[in-house]
Amino acid sequence: MHTTIPLSVAALLGVGIIIIGSLYIASPEKMTGSFGLKLPSPDAETRAWLRLKGIRDIVSGLLVLTLMLTTGPRTVGIALLVESLTAFGDMSNVLGSGGSKQAALSIHGMTFAVMVIAGLFLINIF
């Protein structure tokens, strides 16, 4: 199975989530609308919690890119499948918390689906 396209998708996902995480660290208040939940309060403590999401995102992206440089496509696929649970959890949290259904499905749900599809291609399910 040819892995160029799924590996390219994995690289885009990795770089994309690193950029999003960096934006959450740099300006968490501006990024909250992109998540699908309203900012509870614009104070330092809330910004600190939002920055944790940024750190999580950066580490998730770095993991995918590191595995791409050090292992084979199957391992990258397994990592994508495991990390897709974060996107699924984010989608579930936004939906369960009365957040934006559009953001939950279009941002988190689509990310989940793309990660699963790319992961399945990389572990040769398709």
DSSP state of 125: -
Predicted local distance difference test score (pLDDT) of residue 47: 86
CA distances from 61 to 39, 41, 80, 101 (A): 24, 28, 10, 25
Number of structural domains found in the chain: 1
How far is residue 61's CA from residue 21's CA, in Å, rounded to a whole number?
A: 9
> Tokens 């920055």 appear where?
51
Q: What is the pLDDT of residues 28-38, one digit of tens each?
A: 888 877 889 88
The range of the structural domain enclosing residue 111 comes to 4-122
Check pLDDT > 90 for residue 56. yes
The owner of tokens 């999580």 is: 56
The answer to whether 22 and 58 have CB atoms below 8 angstroms apart is: yes
Give the pLDDT score at 124: 92
The span from the CA of 53 to the CA of 60, in Å, is 10
pLDDT at 81: 98
Which is more confidently placed, 61 or 39?
61
Taking the model in full, what pTM does it have?
0.92
% of the chain with per-residue pLDDT over 90:
78
| The predicted structure's pLDDT at residue 119 | 98
Q: Is the pLDDT of residue 40 over 80?
A: no
**Residues 80-126: tens digit of each pLDDT:** 999 999 999 999 999 999 999 999 999 999 999 999 999 999 999 97
